[in-house]
């Protein structure tokens, strides 16, 4: 019996009355709807309140309205890209223009024999006349007249479907046909009773009925909440289960804190650790002596001092006769880690090596050989470390710096580098909004370095227009006179690479005229230089021989020159927020007051302006990342593309922070009581989790 029921939701959409083979094919290719179940989960994107029809006279600028009236005439105006279709609409109270720039041919077809129409869209006032651009337009036919329910569902549709008479509104006919056929047997409750009661959620089937045809505002709201919760909850169950299982993966047992660690700590530590740094080390120590694998995320703003924590953790591994490795996202960063770690370990008998894409073959072969024999203690490098030919003797700890540059899959690769998976510490300076952390990194334990090392002064950030450039140059000069150093960064992206390089070169020449070669040294670093050249120039700046570094974003991550006090970012509007924050983090590392100057032209888009303003107003990476998430929406955030999270149908990680927290709490509560979901009240949930993929295939990650 249950299998027959299950088939109901899996029935091909073609067999739904009113669909048929031709529409079925379109539904599949256009919207991915191939079964009854798919249609059930294809939700309206808005609801039309027909009882709330407006009149032209009542229009308010900028408001979405639904109007009913007649088309008196229409015409095409203009040519080429300016071509538009204008229709003249009228009701008893006045007239209005409807304008289309796209789909003109298609709209004309509707207009030809339409007189009475309904239009929906945003009214805007121009020269005391109202118009609506790209309104939704519908002929008034029998069904439009009759369906005067207060919340009539409108579905997302496409041109091709509209041509087959499946407009956003006609879609409602399909759901109206489908819904009465679905019984609680087809759609059993999947959430445990306890959660439904506690959170006062609608039953599953009610939620699905109500989201398509809501009785009232309140039911609609509850239906949406229930469905969002379910989406988030399924994800959180999977993530928390994974986390639970991970904490049970046998790991290397770091028995002791030994000589390497203690010697270094007593004699060579260049400064006192901050309390936060000490706390993180304690957490790492705890994790590595449980006999289980550590999976920890270290979040700390730019410049918070994660590197030293990483180094101390590697010493812990070495003390316990294990090898350790440190992965960095770029060659320059890997080189810098290598140089600074070698320097710090000068007094220790520890063998450190660097492996990147440009390591010479002979050197590489030697290095790989030593690594496999266990003669190397610490391997620092880039993605090159992930390659299968890189074989460790006994890898005990893997640290991944700037994790947001790596995918989750790459983290997984490191697991396989040792029979017993190594302890994993991932570090990120791109703080993650809470909701994202719960998904992208939800399977990790989290450590945070909140406070920056003592003595840091806040970085003053200002926005300057290009025409103030000479003032900016004067300012740079005064800083250079004080013995400080300055970064000037130019954007560089593939799509406009040629132009970007021209700007960079011009910028370099301009700076060189202000800072002539006989007195000053201006260095330039970019990706077109060969590595030796780039390295040479970079080193010149690191050593303080060059006062000014003109560069592309190759310096974005990790570079550490405490004497630099000014960061100038050219065409700042072209950078993303997290990139701007990373760049700004290159200064403010020494004792001097530091500045970040964001240069732009006059014309900056609205979002661009908002990004700049965010940088000027905020210094905390956490605030900036939250703003970033709000401005860009979740689809675009770091790390989400790779891991494929956040593909929710309804839930939105910007707006639904509260629901996400509830979902996580509920998931943890259930798993604490019944980790394998063996209790009777969890049977349906277990079944549901096994068939629903959720937004991510989390199991692949481990």
- Find the helix or strand (DSSP H, E) in which 701 lies: helix 698-701
Q: Among residues 46, 3, 37, which one has the least CA distance to residue 178?
A: 37
Strand order in the sheet with 459-465: 459-465, 594-600, 564-569, 485-489, 548-551, 522-525
300 binds ligand ADP (CB under 6 A): yes
Q: Which is nearer to ligand ADP, 305 or 639 (CB)?
A: 305
- Least distance to ligand ADP, CB of residue 553, Å: 16
Q: Helix or strand or coil: residue 143?
A: helix
Determine the interface stretch with ligand ADP among 88-96, 99-107, 300-308, 681-689 (rule: CB under 6 A).
300-308
Contact with ligand ADP (CB under 6 A) among 209, 210, 238, 307: 307
Rounded alpha-carbon distances, angstroms, from residue 570 to 111, 234, 435, 576:
50, 44, 32, 13
74, 108 in Cβ contact below 8 A?
A: yes
Cα separation, 645 vs 640, whole angstroms: 6
Q: Which residue matches tokens 């560089």?
A: 492
Cα separation, 269 vs 305, whole angstroms: 13
Q: Which is nearer to Mg ion, 304 or 565 (CB)?
A: 304
Q: Which is nearer to Mg ion, 401 or 570 (CB)?
A: 401
- Least distance to ligand ADP, CB of residue 268, Å: 13
Note the helical H segments in 248-294: 259-263, 275-288
429 binds ligand ADP (CB under 6 A): yes
Pairing mode of beta strands 129-133, 116-126: antiparallel
Determine the interface stretch with Mg ion among 189-197, 406-414, 466-474, 556-564 (rule: CB under 5 A).
556-564
- From Mg ion, ligand ADP, none, which one binds at residue 308 (CB under 5 to 8 Å depending on kind)? ligand ADP
Q: Provide the sign of the torsion angle of the four alpha carbons 410, 416, 418, 424, taken in this order.
A: positive
- Find the helix or strand (DSSP H, E) in which 539 lies: helix 531-542
Q: Which is nearer to ligand ADP, 304 or 614 (CB)?
A: 304
Contact with ligand ADP (CB under 6 A) among 204, 337, 589, 611: 589
Binding mask 445-464 for ligand ADP (x = CB under 6 A): --------x-----------
Q: Which residue matches tokens 């945070």?
A: 448
Determine the interface stretch with Mg ion among 234-242, 553-561, 576-584, 588-596 (rule: CB under 5 A).
553-561
Tokens of 103: 């789909």
Q: What is the CB neighbour count within 10 angstroms for residue 634?
A: 21
- From ligand ADP, Mg ion, none, which one binds at residue 453 (CB under 5 to 8 Å depending on kind)? ligand ADP
558 binds Mg ion (CB under 5 A): yes
306 binds ligand ADP (CB under 6 A): yes
Binding mask 387-426 for ligand ADP (x = CB under 6 A): ----------------------------------------
Q: Which residue matches tokens 């398509």?
A: 212
- Least distance to ligand ADP, CB of residue 511, Å: 26
Q: What is the 3-state secondary structure (H, E, C) of 318-363?
A: HHCCCEEEEECCCHHHHHHHHHHHHHHCCCCCCCEEEECCCCCHHH
Contact with ligand ADP (CB under 6 A) among 14, 30, 535, 560: 560
Q: Which is nearer to Mg ion, 422 or 558 (CB)?
A: 558
CA torsion 582-588-590-595 (nearest 10°) is 130
59, 65 in Cβ contact below 8 A?
A: yes
Number of residues that bind Mg ion (CB under 5 A): 1
- Least distance to ligand ADP, CB of residue 355, Å: 20
Q: Which is nearer to Mg ion, 442 or 558 (CB)?
A: 558
562 binds ligand ADP (CB under 6 A): yes
- From ligand ADP, Mg ion, none, which one binds at residue 190 (CB under 5 to 8 Å depending on kind)? none
Tokens of 440: 């992208």
Where in 250-289 is the site for ligand ADP (CB under 6 A)? 271-274, 277
Which burial class, exposed, middle or buried, applies to 28 when counting CB atoms under 10 A from its CB (0-12, 13-18, 19+)? middle
Q: What is the DSSP letter of 292?
A: B
Cα separation, 486 vs 505, whole angstroms: 17
431 binds Mg ion (CB under 5 A): no
Q: Which is nearer to ligand ADP, 205 or 273 (CB)?
A: 273
Q: Which is nearer to ligand ADP, 368 or 400 (CB)?
A: 400
Q: Which is nearer to Mg ion, 367 or 580 (CB)?
A: 580
Contacts with ligand ADP, residue ranges (CB under 6 A): 271-274, 277, 300, 302-308, 429, 453, 560, 562, 589
Contacts with Mg ion, residue ranges (CB under 5 A): 558
């Amino acid at each position: 019996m249950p299998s027959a029921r299950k088939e109901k939701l899996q029935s091909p959409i073609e067999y739904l009355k009113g669909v048929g083979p031709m529409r079925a094919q379109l539904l599949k290719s256009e919207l991915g709807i191939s079964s009854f179940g798919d249609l059930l989960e294809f939700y309206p994107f808005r609801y039309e309140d027909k009882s709330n029809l407006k009149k032209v006279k009542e229009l308010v600028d900028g408001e979405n309205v639904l109007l009913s009236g007649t088309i008196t005439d229409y015409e095409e105006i203009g040519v080429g890209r300016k071509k538009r279709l204008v229709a003249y609409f009228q009701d008893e109270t006045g007239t209005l223009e409807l304008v289309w720039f796209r789909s003109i041919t298609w709209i004309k077809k509707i207009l030809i024999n339409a007189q009475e129409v309904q239009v929906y869209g945003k009214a805007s006032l121009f020269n005391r006349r109202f118009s609506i651009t790209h309104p939704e337009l519908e002929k008034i036919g029998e069904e439009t007249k009759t369906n005067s329910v207060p919340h009539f569902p409108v579905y997302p549709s496409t041109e091709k479907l509209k041509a087959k008479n499946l407009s956003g509104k006609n879609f409602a006919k399909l759901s109206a046909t489908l819904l009465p056929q679905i019984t609680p047997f087809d759609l059993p409750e999947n959430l445990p009773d306890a959660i439904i009661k506690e959170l006062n959620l609608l039953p599953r089937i009610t939620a699905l009925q109500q989201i398509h045809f809501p009785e009232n505002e309140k039911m609609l709201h509850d239906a949406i909440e229930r469905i969002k919760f379910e989406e988030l909850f399924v994800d959180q169950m999977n993530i928390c289960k994974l986390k639970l299982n991970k904490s049970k993966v046998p790991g290397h047992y770091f028995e002791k804190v030994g000589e390497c660690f203690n010697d270094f700590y007593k004699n060579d530590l260049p400064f006192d650790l901050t309390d936060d740094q000490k706390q993180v080390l304690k957490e790492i120590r705890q994790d590595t002596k449980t006999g289980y694998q550590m999976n920890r995320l270290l979040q700390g703003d730019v410049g918070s001092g994660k590197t030293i924590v990483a180094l101390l953790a590697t010493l812990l591994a070495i003390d316990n006769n294990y090898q350790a490795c440190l992965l960095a996202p770029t060659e320059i960063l890997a080189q810098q880690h290598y140089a600074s770690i070698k320097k710090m370990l000068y007094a220790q008998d520890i063998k450190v090596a660097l492996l990147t894409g440009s390591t010479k073959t002979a050197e590489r072969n030697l290095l790989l050989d030593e690594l496999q024999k266990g003669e190397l203690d610490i391997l620092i490098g880039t993605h090159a470390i992930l390659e299968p030919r890189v074989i460790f003797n006994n890898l005990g700890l893997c640290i991944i710096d700037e994790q947001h540059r790596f995918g989750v899959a790459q983290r997984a690769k490191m697991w396989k580098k040792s029979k017993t998976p190594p302890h994993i510490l991932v570090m990120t300076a791109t703080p993650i909004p809470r909701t994202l952390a719960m998904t992208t990194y939800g399977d990790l334990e989290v450590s945070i370095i909140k406070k920056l090392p003592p003595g840091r002064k806040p970085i003053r950030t200002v926005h300057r227009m290009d025409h103030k450039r000479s003032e900016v140059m004067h300012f740079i000069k005064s800083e250079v006179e004080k013995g400080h150093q300055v970064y000037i960064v130019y954007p560089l992206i593939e799509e406009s690479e040629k132009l970007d390089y021209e700007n960079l070169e011009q910028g370099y020449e301009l700076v060189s005229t202000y800072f002539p070669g006989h007195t000053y040294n201006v260095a330039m670093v970019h990706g077109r230089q060969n590595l030796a050249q780039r390295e040479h120039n970079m080193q010149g700046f690191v050593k303080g021989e060059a006062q000014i570094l003109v560069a592309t974003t190759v310096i974005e991550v990790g570079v550490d020159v405490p004497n630099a006090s000014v960061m100038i970012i050219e065409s700042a509007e072209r950078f993303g927020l997290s990139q701007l924050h990373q760049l700004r983090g290159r200064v403010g590392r020494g004792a001097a007051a530091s500045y970040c100057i964001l240069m732009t032209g006059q014309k900056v888009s609205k979002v661009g302006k908002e990004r700049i303003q965010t940088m000027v107003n905020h210094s905390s990476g956490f605030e900036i990342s939250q703003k970033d998430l709000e401005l860009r929406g979740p689809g675009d955030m770091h790390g989400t593309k790779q891991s494929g999270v956040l593909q929710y149908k309804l839930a939105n990680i910007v707006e639904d922070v509260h629901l996400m927290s509830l979902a996580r709490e509920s998931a943890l509560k259930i798993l604490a009581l019944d980790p394998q979901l063996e209790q009777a009240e969890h049977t349906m949930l277990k079944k549901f989790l096994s068939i629903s993929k959720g937004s991510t295939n989390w199991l692949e990650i481990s």
